[in-house]
Amino acid sequence: MRDAKQNTPVHIYGEKMSNFVRTVMIVCEYKSIPFTYGFSIKDKAVAFKSEQHMELHPYGKIPVLLDQDFYLAETSSICRYLDNNFAGPKVQFEQAKQAAYHDAFCAIASTYIDKAFIREFLLEFAFPKGENGTVRMDVVKAGIPNVHNALSVIEKELVSDNQVINGERLSIADALLVPMLHYINTVTRDFKLLEVHPEIEAYLVNLMRFDCCKKVLL
């Protein structure tokens, strides 16, 4: 197990605006792993979706982790690698069934919840495609039911016996969810989406008490 404070910083290829880049940053902060980030590799600029980027991730996605000469794509895999190779508080579970369930929920968060929150809803605010660069409110309104459905999935998980998310300790699943929930709560505050999900409001408050979440998200 490597002492994070005595190692060369890992590099996160990607931009901080990405919720997945933020997830990796949160895990690094939580485990006191020094890191840098940005669209560069070994101090040389590498454009997003360039040929060199595509060599690191065949679909041109971010983040990609660079740990000296080791490269790794996909957020949950990156977080597991960091947890398995660096000292500091664990963000995974030891009991086999809970660990497997945690991995499964991470996949759900990375695909279906991310799609509902980010790809089909919040990206319209970040990159509006309406006339003269305006937000297409019909697209936004069409996405709200899926947002509420995804919030209900998280709500159900919070009250389950699985205990892979609860805001009391930080897991990879928590680190995946908190950047998305923070965006929902800030970018679309006027929609009051979390007000009808009080358990998630409380969960987000608990997560934002972690210094790692404050440093990355605020």
Task: Give tens-digit pLDDT for 110-167.
Answer: 999 999 999 999 999 999 999 999 999 999 999 999 999 999 999 999 999 999 998 7
pLDDT of amino acid 186: 96
What letter does residue 110 receive in the DSSP assignment?
A: I
Q: Which fold has domain 4-85?
A: Glutaredoxin (3.40.30)
| Locus of tokens 């039911």 | 145
3 state DSSP class of 99: helix
Q: Residue 199 and residue 15: Cα distance in Å, rounded?
A: 30
Residues of the chain with confidence (pLDDT) below 70: 4-6
pLDDT of amino acid 6: 62
Burial of 95 (0-12, 13-18, 19+ CB in 10 A): exposed
Q: Residue 204 and residue 165: Cα distance in Å, rounded?
A: 11
DSSP letters for 130-180: SGGG---HHHHHHHHHHHHHHHHHHHHHHTSSS-S--SSS--HHHHHHHHH
Boundaries of every domain in the chain? 4-85, 96-217
pLDDT of amino acid 4: 58
Please state which of the four CATH numbers 2.40.400.10, 1.20.1050.10, 3.40.630.10, 2.40.160.10 is assigned to the domain occupying 96-217: 1.20.1050.10
Spatial CB neighbours of 80, under 8 Å, sequence gap ≥ 6:
92, 172
Do 19 and 114 touch, CB atoms closer than 8 A?
yes
